[in-house]
Structure 1
Amino acid sequence: MTSLRRAALPLALLLSLASLSAMAQDDDRVTGAHKTTKLPAVSVSANDWRKYLKAKLQYQLPEVDGPRITVTKKTTVTHLDDQPTVIGNNLNQTLARTPGVLVSEQPTPTQFNFSYRGIGNPQESEFVLVMQDGIPLEGDWMGFPTLYAFPITQSLSEVQLIRGGSSLLYGPEPAPVINLVSRRPAANTPLSVSTENVVGEHGLFSSYNVIERNQGAWAFCADAGYVHSDGTRANDDSRNRQADLYLAYTPDERQQWWLDFHAISAVSGDPGRLSYTRWQQDPRTVTTPYNRNWVNRDQLVLGHTRDLGGKWSLEAKLWFTYQDLVSRAAKAQLPGQAPPGSTTLQDDAFRTYGTDVRLRKNWGHGNAFTIGTVLYHGSDPFRQWSSPNLVAARDDHSGVQILNQRRSTQYASLFAENVFRLPHRIHIVPSVRLERERVAVDETVHPPFLSRPLIHEADKRHMPLFGLGLGNDFGHGNETYFNVSQGWRPLRFFDIAPPFSNLMQGHAAQLSKTVSWEAGVHGAPVTGLYYDVSVFWINFRNRLETRYINAIDTIYVNTGDTRSRGLEAQLDYDIFAPTQLAGAGQHLETFFNASLLNARFTASAIPGQVGKTPAFSPDYLIKTGVAWRNERVKLSLTAVTSAAQYWQDSDKSFGSGLTYMPARIPAYTVVDVASDWQISHSLRLLAGVSNLANRRYFDRVWQNGLEPAFGRTWYTGFALTY
């Protein structure tokens, strides 16, 4: 706005002078005192800054996104409508345009594994905060921050990635936040029904069905999805069901009420993990033929937004979530060996409640102030039974109970941010967040092989967080940004009370904390081009690890500090954008993003650990592709390339012979092709091939072995809209 005023002042002055000159000339003509003098022509032009802002919003969040300030925070937005339909939750395709996020692939849909910039093992995404519409998807956000449920991709409209400052916006976890935005019916949508049905290799069948309407004051959308796969090994089958309901009421332009209901149910076999030697010999080997996992997650959300007047606005959410994780797990056996004598049924339930209330005040010339609070409570019983029936049903509790714990969490936060707009297009964003966490475990039954007393532990922590962002707009649609922010990892149930160890913690370990620095430049300087390049440095203090004292006893201790630094770059270019083809709805986009990472231990209680590379910290992660789309076609070719990476912090190989595991996960490149073809207004065809080159690889390893990734797989199907 300041720049527009500067441009308007000389323009107004020129117009005034021209008017005075014309008046003087008219007087001269009347009196005849002077001859008419012709002045040189003056050309006045101005750039419309809005076109640059609109171009950037195809790839990043608005600078003030409702009650959230994201300017000076590095953000990436993937609009899923701009790419072909993702089938079977292929997360490499879903996140192909999301730089730096490492997907550790697990074929069964009951665990989802992400990591970022070498901060923590991706197992169940414990070090990444994954949300849906700003509400955590974890089992228990504080005590058990694991990701066992993920919405079917067809039900999402976009994926948002927020790096530094994410903890100040949303709360615990070092960084980043992955926020999944649910699909909503567009304005003025008449009553419509659609069904999508796909078949593919390994017994794949996927069905997604929607009915929606958005006209007048009311809007609704209901969907139901089902995905089945036989997998690539025996006992690798899976079934995933999902249902969603969205109901919104907008009585006037100043307010809206909405209700969201999400239900996810997944069941899958667990064929077991393999040593590297076994994987080379036969990747279809099954080591746990009787094991099985069940996941159920139901969530109800009530939301409200309102313009309060006086440039104040409100956004409030109230939610309840119930999630149940049930597993049947017996000891591993190799082909030809006798089956184990018993299995363990585990029931891990989570009942969580939360509210998120945020206010925004617009003031001055482009300034904005936000303030809010989050309150959260979890009640999470944890139970186990031992049964001689290796195929016991999920609710069969007739065996001997070997564990019973009552667990609870409480969390409260208060936070505020302000963006100050200064002269010369400079903006400053100071942030503060005050947090309190309490975690408690009360045990009534412990495993019979333990001799320790029953656990009755509770621990609470207070955490102030601070951040500062600086930015400057320059040129045509460019911006430099700098952000330094604190973050932390919540205290978990296992951190204060390991349930399967004889050793008592005595006191909980210190909290794991991060300080993230990031500086970069991004923009859309010419038609069709967007770029974002930054350097980052993350100090992660008081890493918490499991230390094995003997074959049974473990303890969770602070083992040291790590440092992650590197460069992250993103480049998107629509080749057709500067041409007349863009006016006809044609787009040919090429994209490339890369994360270059150097991560090291800088301090450790473990001898010889300093200088080693943390697990799951590849030196580079590259994602690239090309996509063609218009009103009838969406066609994409994408590739993900990862450098070799250690799978454990020791950087050492494990075992020998048939139990051998190398120190590193080998480098790999995976190429996918996907397409949507709109044959008519109501008929759309879908087809694609994942892992086009049939690359044999793995990128998921745990202490008991690796999980083979899918080879080349195909799918085809159709969608009808009425």
Structure 2
Amino acid sequence: MPPLRRAALPLALLISLAPLSAFAQSTQPNSDTGEDQSTTPKAVNLPTVNVRADDWRKYLKAKLVYQMPEVDGPKITVTKKTTVTHLDNQPTVIGNNLNQVLARTPGVLVSEQPTPTQFNFNYRGVGNPQESEFVLVMQDGIPLEGDWIGFPTLYAFPMTQSLSEVQLIRGGSSLLYGPEPAPVINLVSKRPAPGTPLTVTTEQVVGEHGLFSSYNVIERNQGAWAFRADAGYVHSDGTRANDGSQNRQVDFYLGYQPDQQQLWWLDFHAISAVSGDPGRLSYTQWRQDPRTVNTPYNRDWVNRDQLVLGHTRDFGDNWHLEAKLWFTYQDLVSRSAKAELPLQPPPTSTTLQDEAFHTMGADVRLRKNWGQGNAFTIGTVLFHGDDPFRQWSSPNLLIDRDDHSGTSVLNQSRTSQYASLFAENVFRLPYRIHIVPSVRLEHEQISVDETVRPPFLSRPFIHETDNRNVPLFGLGLGNDFGHGNETYFNVSQGWRPLRYFDIASPFSNLMPGHAAALSKSVSWEAGVHGAPVTGLYYDVSLFWIDFRNRLETQYINAIDTIEVNTGDTRSRGLEGQLDYDFFAPTQWATQGQHLETFVNVSLLNAKFTGSDIPGQVGKVPAFSPAYLVKTGVTWRNERVKLSLTAVSSAAQYWQDSDKSYGSGETYMPARMPAYTVLDLASDWRLNRSLKLLAGISNLGNRKYFDRVWQNGLEPAFGRTWYTGFDLSF
């Protein structure tokens, strides 16, 4: 309780008792006559006292619309910069349009790939966004990567209709959750609200390029039991031949709450995606015809199944437990042949690749509240992965995903082990100061054992094992001041795990003498945020990230590569967020009317500060745009959600060399051009049961790309529309 509130209580108590005391004295018998004088009480004039109390809870509630609680269950997030996007406060997102999902999430760069089998995020210029390898993406605090340690790539993403919010945690994220430098993107699944009767909802949408999206839910939460089940399907023909895709999803949640102190739950998630791969284009091909197809036979399949068992419990003496146990199976299968070149015969063989991931983990955390607002957390995470990697060569260019009749050209067994022990404490000091020291101890072990190697190699079989022990430390400082404002400072360490490919490339003749050093980061962030007036939220900070021992692929010749530590980078800049609801200070807010506008901006200055590559120092790392701006306006009430959003990115290099390559048909410029894209989305509720959906993505039909890899670029979608309905009963 703030000092003003504590002082107000005894003062109010004295004021309330003073008249009673005076009245009691006036009703005493007269000492001289012995007569009762109660019929003629004497008036007592007291000095006027004005008492004002500032209820801090209204500011905390306002901030929680935009950031995580300071102590969120067993997790301490105070002094860690966080952003929360509540998806129910914006129109329905169709087809996993990630620019719309993350429009209110500052600094996260989406490198767009039209097909739903890879998802590419980047943040503050730390690493290539390829498959989000440098960003930890989680669902309900559990990694979504194929193998969190040995193969941290993102090939599956839940349909956004099944999510309630998106959490972004910057500095201190590695101390809170584990490997990857920063940040953590945590996707929170929807749960049926308490008291929900049996409800069935169906959403049916059609749109351009053969889009058909179906999402269906049945849920109930009454008494001790709650459940929610959903099933989704999305089909698209794409914009190029061999660009069609299908995505299926099934989720099931079952919760049991025997009393107010504990909850048991079971979660099951299944995602299945299949997509053609029309191939990447050179810049010249893209300018001439973005519908060009280079690989008409290639195809990708992704399957991911996950079972989670969880338990939370409040014990006596202010102890709280949260425990999760999960089992995941993910299978990545691809069929790839060489690109078809003009006036050349088609390829004569294809490679079928199968990477399976059998992983399991446990996350156990305890929190103890003590003293006046202090909290201590301690926990452990254990993880194991068993991930065979196989390839076959076949003359059948359309070979099925389960047909292993071809010639075996690669077979590796791969395993990963990970364990961590961590602790944090928030100390509440006088003058609303808080301090959060953090420590985390990490252990990683990965192994690769090879029995079949590619026929064009002559090196020995790979039999490599590597162990790493990593201590991490962090410190956060904060101070609440004024009306709902807070300054915060955080310095913390992070790291990137050593992957299977880092200890030995399966496609190179060279064997490293020893594994490369771990890539580590130190992140500094200082800022201020708050909700000082009704309807307004702001958050602005300065950041600095030193990322050392970057791992890069070094080409020795056309075949031989090696993963080595080539240098260090520094990323610094400003990140700001401003949200304002114009209707919040008015009586319209009491009627459920909101007119919200937001803008968030990331200004980035990144460069190489050290490198073994001659001439590399001073260059800008790949995917480090000087600015990334997201803005929009949303009108919402009980019947309408209408939103116009925009994402604008500066030009950026797509490779660390900052150089173009090729000429003529193979030309690729050094930088991807700047772009600005607008999206319009709307939900219109006609009655309690029926809601209409409609929207237009890339409203200005901007021709652009922001996804480039070593073999070319992928065109982004042009203007597309969708329309449909949502029916509940």
Pick the TM interval, shorter chain.
over 0.9
- Report the equivalent of 2:640: 633
- Report the equivalent of 2:405: 398
Which amino acid letter does the alignment assign opposite residue 329 of structure 2? Answer: Y
Which amino acid letter does the alignment assign opposite residue 142 of structure 1? Answer: I
So what's the TM-score if we normalise by structure 1? Answer: 0.98
Which amino acid letter does the alignment assign opposite residue 448 of structure 2? Answer: V
Which residue among 620, 623, 633 is the counterpart of 1:613? 620
Q: CA separation of 1:28/1:674 partners in 2, compared to 1, >3 Å: closer, same or farther?
A: farther
Q: How far apart are 1:12 and its partner, in Å?
A: 4.0
Which amino acid letter does the alignment assign opposite residue 50 of structure 2? Answer: S
Residue 711 (1) aligns with residue 713 (2): no
Which amino acid letter does the alignment assign opposite residue 566 of structure 1? Answer: G
Question: Residue deviations 1:350-371, cap 9 Å, x none?
Answer: 0001000000101111111000
Q: How far apart are 1:7 and its partner, in Å?
A: 3.5
Question: Residue deviations 1:69-108, cap 9 Å, x none?
Answer: 0000000000000000000000000000000000000000
DSSP-derived class of the 1:309 partner: coil
The whole-number CA distance in structure 1 between the counterparts of 2:170 and 2:27 is: 64
The whole-number CA distance in structure 2 between the counterparts of 1:23 and 1:402 is: 100
The whole-number CA distance in structure 1 between the counterparts of 2:403 and 2:504 is: 27
Q: How far apart are 1:21 and its partner, in Å?
A: 5.6
Could you tell me whether the CA contact under 8 Å between 1:376 and 1:410 is conserved in 2?
A: yes
Q: Aligned residues, how many? A: 722
Could you tell me whether the CA contact under 8 Å between 2:27 and 2:41 is conserved in 1?
A: no
- Report the equivalent of 1:242: 249
Residue 377 (1) aligns with residue 378 (2): no
- Report the equivalent of 2:466: 459
Question: Residue deviations 1:591-639, cap 9 Å, x none?
Answer: 0000000001111111111111000000000000000000000000000
- Report the equivalent of 2:553: 546
Structure 2's unaligned 5+ residue stretches are: none
Q: How far apart are 1:13 and its partner, in Å?
A: 4.8
- Report the equivalent of 1:472: 479
The whole-number CA distance in structure 1 between the counterparts of 2:60 and 2:631 is: 24
- Report the equivalent of 2:296: 289
- Report the equivalent of 1:647: 654
The whole-number CA distance in structure 1 between the counterparts of 2:584 and 2:619 is: 46
Aligned 1:270-309 pairs, distance under 5 A: 270-309=277-316
- Report the equivalent of 2:508: 501
Q: How far apart are 1:335 and its partner, in Å?
A: 4.3
The whole-number CA distance in structure 1 between the counterparts of 2:206 and 2:584 is: 35
Could you tell me whether the CA contact under 8 Å between 1:275 and 1:659 is conserved in 2?
A: yes
- Report the equivalent of 2:609: 602
Aligned 1:96-135 pairs, distance under 5 A: 96-135=103-142
Structure 1's unaligned 5+ residue stretches are: none
Which amino acid letter does the alignment assign opposite residue 357 of structure 1? Answer: V
- Report the equivalent of 1:57: 64
- Report the equivalent of 2:240: 233
- Report the equivalent of 1:43: 50
Question: Residue deviations 1:336-382, cap 9 Å, x none?
Answer: 43111111000000000100000010111111100000000000000
DSSP-derived class of the 1:627 partner: strand
The whole-number CA distance in structure 1 between the counterparts of 2:467 and 2:573 is: 34
Residue 673 (1) aligns with residue 674 (2): no
Which amino acid letter does the alignment assign opposite residue 402 of structure 1? Answer: V
Residue 207 (1) aligns with residue 208 (2): no
Q: How far apart are 1:313 and its partner, in Å?
A: 1.0
Which residue among 510, 523, 545 is the counterpart of 1:516? 523
Which amino acid letter does the alignment assign opposite residue 496 of structure 1? Answer: I
Q: How far apart are 1:47 and its partner, in Å?
A: 1.6
DSSP-derived class of the 1:88 partner: coil
Computed over aligned residues only, the root mean square deviation of the Cα atoms, in angstroms, reads 1.5
The whole-number CA distance in structure 2 between the counterparts of 1:280 and 1:18 is: 86
Question: Residue deviations 1:394-444, cap 9 Å, x none?
Answer: 011111100000000000000000111111111111100000000000000
Could you tell me whether the CA contact under 8 Å between 2:22 and 2:44 is conserved in 1?
A: no
Q: CA separation of 1:680/1:514 partners in 2, compared to 1, >3 Å: closer, same or farther?
A: same
- Report the equivalent of 1:485: 492
The whole-number CA distance in structure 2 between the counterparts of 1:603 and 1:335 is: 42
Question: Residue deviations 1:139-178, cap 9 Å, x none?
Answer: 0000000000000000000000000000011000000000
- Report the equivalent of 1:6: 7
The whole-number CA distance in structure 2 between the counterparts of 1:120 and 1:561 is: 11
Could you tell me whether the CA contact under 8 Å between 1:209 and 1:224 is conserved in 2?
A: yes
- Report the equivalent of 1:533: 540
- Report the equivalent of 2:260: 253
Which amino acid letter does the alignment assign opposite residue 660 of structure 2? Answer: S
DSSP-derived class of the 2:411 partner: strand
The whole-number CA distance in structure 2 between the counterparts of 1:110 and 1:395 is: 18
Q: How far apart are 1:507 and its partner, in Å?
A: 0.8
Aligned 1:175-194 pairs, distance under 5 A: 175-194=182-201
- Report the equivalent of 1:564: 571
Q: CA separation of 1:404/1:30 partners in 2, compared to 1, >3 Å: closer, same or farther?
A: farther
Which amino acid letter does the alignment assign opposite residue 193 of structure 2? Answer: A
Question: Residue deviations 1:101-143, cap 9 Å, x none?
Answer: 0000000000000000000000000000000000000000000
- Report the equivalent of 2:177: 170
The whole-number CA distance in structure 1 between the counterparts of 2:513 and 2:478 is: 46
Q: How far apart are 1:42 and its partner, in Å?
A: 1.7
The whole-number CA distance in structure 2 between the counterparts of 1:342 and 1:6 is: 82
The whole-number CA distance in structure 1 between the counterparts of 2:30 and 2:94 is: 79
